Amino acid sequence: MTEATRLVREGRLLDATARIQERLGGGVPGTSSAASSPGSRAGGTVTRGSAAGLAYRLHVPRGLPAGAPLLVMLHGGTQDADGFAACTGMDAAAERAGVAVVYPEQSRSANAMGYWNWFRPGDQARDAGEPAMIAAITRTVAAQLRTDPARVAVAGFSAGAAMAAVMAAAYPDLYCGAGVHSGLPYRAAGDVASAFAAMSSPPGAVADAGPVPLVVVHGDADRTVAPGNGEAVLRSALVGAEPGRLDRTTGRAPGGRDWTRERFSEPGGRVLAESWTVHGLGHAWSGGPGGVQYADPSGPDASTAMLAFFGFTADRVGVHPGAAVG
């Protein structure tokens, strides 16, 4: 933190960005730091494509019909699409649920270590910068697969989670829900220095995240993105609303970590936000497979929980337009 601040004051923004990238690059102790292998194809097919200058990885479950849901997954820093698929296990979860999953991949020319530039004003608005590119991939794949336009969601981890919050705020007409795992709230920062500050000291005041329902997952032992950021994301989803807490549930993953889940709804019953605090979890995807970087198998299954929140599984919560809690 001290070194990055010094670099910013000296005008060495690229070097300061590198320090942020190193900070965000911390994995889970005891997991492999080698390049991750592709996620399980789980009986479906994996293809590659590109749109708007970005490459993407697409997993299509076997026998996927027209009108199925689509999930857009945004990787964290130092990851690529294959590595993110591997650490989340989302291919297998989506195969079970009958959901197509596309993983846009950040260009290394835009960020040498693969981070989405969520903290730059030019990458926080509709029809501009990286949000426009991700939206273009979303539309391209949705048209290709003829997915249900009312059931398209976006989720991410770390820097990808912060960008998922941006996508939900900028494109409420495109996404029915957003998942923010170990990330930061919309417009939590406006430059390198404020990004680093927000990672350590979550913002007190938050921007309105817009009408798209959010599901938040954060570990209370995260030393990379302070746990208070998860609380800030939740608050950003409730700005201007008059929510009532639906429920507060506690539990324990089988043989693993304790968790606390809270749900908030608007008076009509539609869920506005769901928050999972995973006790003892660091900066890693909760419930990801063992031995994979950025994955912690001892937590609850974040991939399945997100699909349920989006209404993409039999145990749906039902956040897509017109749906009520179920």
Q: What pLDDT does 16 receive? A: 53
pLDDT at 243 over 80: no
Domains in the chain, start-ordered, CATH in brackets? 2-23+37-309 (3.40.50.1820)
Beta carbons within 8 Å of 23's beta carbon, 6+ residues apart:
4, 196, 199, 224
What average pLDDT does the segment 256-279 reach?
A: 92
Residue 110 burial by Cβ neighbours in a 10 Å radius (0-12, 13-18, 19+): middle
What average pLDDT does the segment 249-254 reach?
A: 95
What residues are paired with 103 via a beta bridge? 57
**In 107-158, which residue ranges form alpha helices assigned H by DSSP?**
129-145
Which of 36, 40, 158, 182 does the annotation list as catalytic?
158
Q: What percent of the chain has pLDDT over 90?
A: 75
Q: What pLDDT does 114 receive? A: 87
Beta carbons within 8 Å of 30's beta carbon, 6+ residues apart:
none
pLDDT at 151 over 60: yes
- Known catalytic residue: 33? no
Give tens-digit pLDDT for 19-64.
554 554 444 333 332 233 344 445 799 999 999 999 999 999 999 9
User: Whole-prediction pTM value?
Assistant: 0.85
Q: At 314, is the pLDDT very low, low, confident or very high (cuts 50, 70, 90)?
A: low
What average pLDDT does the segment 152-170 reach?
A: 98
pLDDT at 319 over 50: no
3-class secondary structure, 250: strand
What average pLDDT does the segment 215-224 reach?
A: 98
Beta carbons within 8 Å of 238's beta carbon, 6+ residues apart:
264, 272, 273
Give tens-digit pLDDT for 73-114.
999 999 999 999 999 999 999 999 999 999 999 999 988 888
pLDDT at 256 over 90: yes
What average pLDDT does the segment 130-155 reach?
A: 98
CA distance 58 to 52: 16
Name the nearest CA neighbour of 326 among 277, 236, 265, 249: 265
Q: What pLDDT does 244 receive? A: 74
Q: Is 67 left (phi over 0), alpha (psi -120 to 50) or beta?
A: left
* Contact call for residues 157 and 90 (beta carbons, < 8 A): no
CA distance 213 to 163: 15
pLDDT at 122 over 80: yes
Name the residue with higher pLDDT: 50 or 1: 50
CA distance 73 to 14: 26
Q: What pLDDT does 320 receive? A: 40
* Contact call for residues 100 and 181 (beta carbons, < 8 A): no
Give tens-digit pLDDT for 175-212.
999 999 999 999 999 998 999 999 999 989 999 999 99
Q: What pLDDT does 180 receive? A: 98
Task: Give the mean pLDDT of the chain.
Answer: 86
